[in-house]
Amino acid sequence: MSVQPVVSIVKCKDYDEGRVYGAVVEALEPLGGMNGFVSPEDRVLIKPNLLCDSPPERHVTTHPSVVTAVARLVKEAGGRPVIGDSPGLAPFHKAAKTAGFEEAAARAGAELAPFKNSVSVTLPPGATFKEIEVASEVVEADKVINLPKLKTHVQMSLTLGIKNMFGCVIGKRKSQWHLMAGKDRVYFARMIVDIFSAVTPALTIMDGVTAMHRDGPQNGEPYPMGLVFAANDAVALDAAITWMVGLTPDKNPVLAAAIDRGLGCGDMTDIWFPGIHPKDAQQKGFVIPGQTELEIGPGFLRPYLRRHLVPKPVTDHNRCTLCNKCKAVCPPGVITTANERIAINYDNCIHCFCCVEICPEGAMELHRSFLSKVVSKMQ
């Protein structure tokens, strides 16, 4: 018998530690509390968003007060909380310290565990890939709690519960996946859904106290949403938020791929909202990046359309510090340094926007041509 998807949404005006703890407890009550998911002695992996070594005030990563609250509740339920992730570029312990996770772990009595080893997981029929590699620390955990940050994403429109599982791929293997699948955002979304299906978190708690909109996931702008979410179905949660910020599922390729695979509930009428209903929390000022993958026109024309209409990364040399993080993360290796400036070979650029995502100075920007803007409005 299938369990009804529940998405619990509660208010939380700021990151005061006591207030966040109370909000998480309130959000979990309709779901049976943390005890409904964690049994005594369970090793519980808490997977936040630890994109890079970014401080909490930039709102790039899951806020440490949310991490602390969840780890405390796991411990109170008798579980053994482990906070783990694999940042795309920065070393784990450096990123965890900067993001406040090191202190959060100490306050909650949790373990910090960088993802070090990969294991191959065989995927069921219907998956895009037959098998996929994820961190062994994830597979070996008794339970996985997904702890994403609510943000926009320049390539995939939104990065929510499902996409947070991409962090279960270790380090530079992420760049390899971008190179393999990043040219086509639908194909890339299916790969992300495969990773999600290999992990299947028991519980998803999302930090939406201060979200990020515009050109996220790192260089967008803070958006005061004032909400904490908890769900037993990450697909249902992503569907609710997608609707709240003014998108339809087909404009959120990761959600669309998950619904197509039947991995969760994407129908708003089948979801129970015990707290705030999404229709009462629509975010009219939340700005989504323009669509970055052109999905119109016959196949034989798409290479031409892609070259002339799809946005491209452009360097603001006045802001660039030549840290070369963009060069290090670029999957096809088309970024070089020439005459003390970043140079990009656009002929071989796959438009994955990893460089835009990782640039700590916001010096990598999306350039949209006039035609690109016109087409984006038409979609």
Asked whether residue 288 is assigned to any structural domain, the reply reads: no
User: CATH number of the domain that 369 lies in?
Assistant: 3.30.70.20
Which of 161, 169, 166 lies closest to 190, judged by CA?
A: 166
pLDDT exceeds cutoff 90 at 375: no
User: CATH number of the domain that 120 lies in?
Assistant: 3.40.50.11440
Does one domain contain both 37 and 182? yes
- The pLDDT-based confidence of 1 (bands split at 50, 70, 90) is very low
Does one domain contain both 266 and 310? no
- Let me know: does 202 contact 144? Beta carbons within 8 Å: yes
The confidence score (pLDDT) of residue 260 equals 96
Mean pLDDT for the stretch of residues 123-147: 95
pLDDT exceeds cutoff 50 at 158: yes
Asked whether residue 119 is assigned to any structural domain, the reply reads: yes
Mean pLDDT for the stretch of residues 244-262: 95
C-alpha distance from residue 290 to each of 19, 40, 309, 365, 379 (Å): 35, 46, 12, 13, 10
Does one domain contain both 147 and 275? yes
- The pLDDT-based confidence of 294 (bands split at 50, 70, 90) is very low
Does one domain contain both 95 and 145? yes
Round to whole Å and give the CA distance between 150 and 106.
25
Mean pLDDT for the stretch of residues 202-217: 96
Mean pLDDT for the stretch of residues 358-367: 85
Round to whole Å and give the CA distance between 113 and 45.
9
Two tokens, residue 331: 């999957």
Higher pLDDT, 38 or 87: 38
Asked whether residue 290 is assigned to any structural domain, the reply reads: no
Does one domain contain both 319 and 270? no
Write down the pTM of the prediction: 0.88
Per-chain mean pLDDT for the chain: 90
pLDDT exceeds cutoff 80 at 223: yes
Mean pLDDT for the stretch of residues 288-313: 62
Does one domain contain both 245 and 332? no
- Let me know: does 74 contact 119? Beta carbons within 8 Å: no
Round to whole Å and give the CA distance between 238 and 19.
24
Of 214, 247, 280, which closes a domain? 280
Round to whole Å and give the CA distance between 172 and 164.
16
pLDDT exceeds cutoff 70 at 142: yes
Higher pLDDT, 290 or 18: 18
Question: Which residue range(s) make up the domain with 186?
Answer: 7-280
Does one domain contain both 355 and 239? no
- Let me know: does 209 contact 226? Beta carbons within 8 Å: yes
pLDDT exceeds cutoff 50 at 99: yes
- The pLDDT-based confidence of 352 (bands split at 50, 70, 90) is confident
pLDDT tens track for 16-64: 999 999 999 999 999 999 999 999 999 999 999 999 999 999 999 999 9
The 3 state secondary structure assigned to the chain is: CCCCCEEEEEECCCCCHHHHHHHHHHHHHHHCCHHHCCCCCCEEEEEECCCCCCCHHHCCCCCHHHHHHHHHHHHHCCCEEEEEECCCCCCHHHHHHHHCHHHHHHHHCCEEEECCCEEEEECCCCCCCCEEEEEHHHHCCCEEEEECEEEEECCCEEECCCHHHHHHCCCCHHHHHHHHHCCCHHHHHHHHHHHHHHHCCCEEEEEEEEEEECCCCCCCEEEEEEEEEEECCHHHHHHHHHHHCCCCHHHCHHHHHHHHHCCCCCCHHHCECCCCCHHHCCCCCCCCCCCCCCCCCCHHHHHHHHHHHCCEEEECCCCCCCCCHHHHHCCCCCEEEECCEEEECHHHCCCCCHHHHHCCCCCEEEECCHHHHHHHHHC
Looking at the 3D structure of the chain, how many domains does it have? 2
pLDDT tens track for 62-71: 999 999 999 9
Does one domain contain both 313 and 271? no
pLDDT tens track for 310-337: 678 899 999 999 999 999 888 889 999 9
pLDDT exceeds cutoff 90 at 357: no
Does one domain contain both 263 and 318? no
Which of 249, 139, 234 lies closest to 193, judged by CA?
A: 234
